[in-house]
Amino acid sequence: MRDNIHIEATDTTPEIILDFAKGFASIKGICMPANPREFCGSFEPDFLALVETNDPIRLEFFLHYFNTGASKYLFDLILDVNKIVKQKSKVEFIWYVLQDDQELIEVGETLREMTQMHIDIIEVPD
């Protein structure tokens, strides 16, 4: 079994938690790294390995903001996850947004439509 991963949030990057024993992955915070490819590449292989090796799995995204550069890599990550989860029996995908953040609600809805995955969009108070 792989070791769990915890990458602390910074002013420009989100917290990343990958718990292989629990089948849990979380990306939380602000995502606007100077080099999105390098940042996402630092955890993407492990993130996809967690999704591939666990059933059931729980994925939580709670991004307060992400810039255009990061959006491509985040969307690509979710599309890669989508390819893997089609063979899974239980996938819980939660897209948290701050209450009334219409833009990020729409992003969650777009991801749901693009992937055909069941994505729970949950609004949380500021």
AA letter at 6: H
Give me the domain span that covers residue 68: 5-124
CA 56 from chain centre, in angstroms, equals 16
CATH code, 11: 3.30.750
Instruction: Give residue 123's pLDDT.
Output: 96
pTM of the model: 0.92
Tally of domains within the chain: 1
57-103 pLDDT, tens digit per residue, is 999 999 999 999 999 999 999 999 999 988 777 889 999 999 989 99
Instruction: Give residue 86's pLDDT.
Output: 80
8-47 pLDDT, tens digit per residue, is 999 999 999 999 999 999 999 999 999 999 998 999 999 9
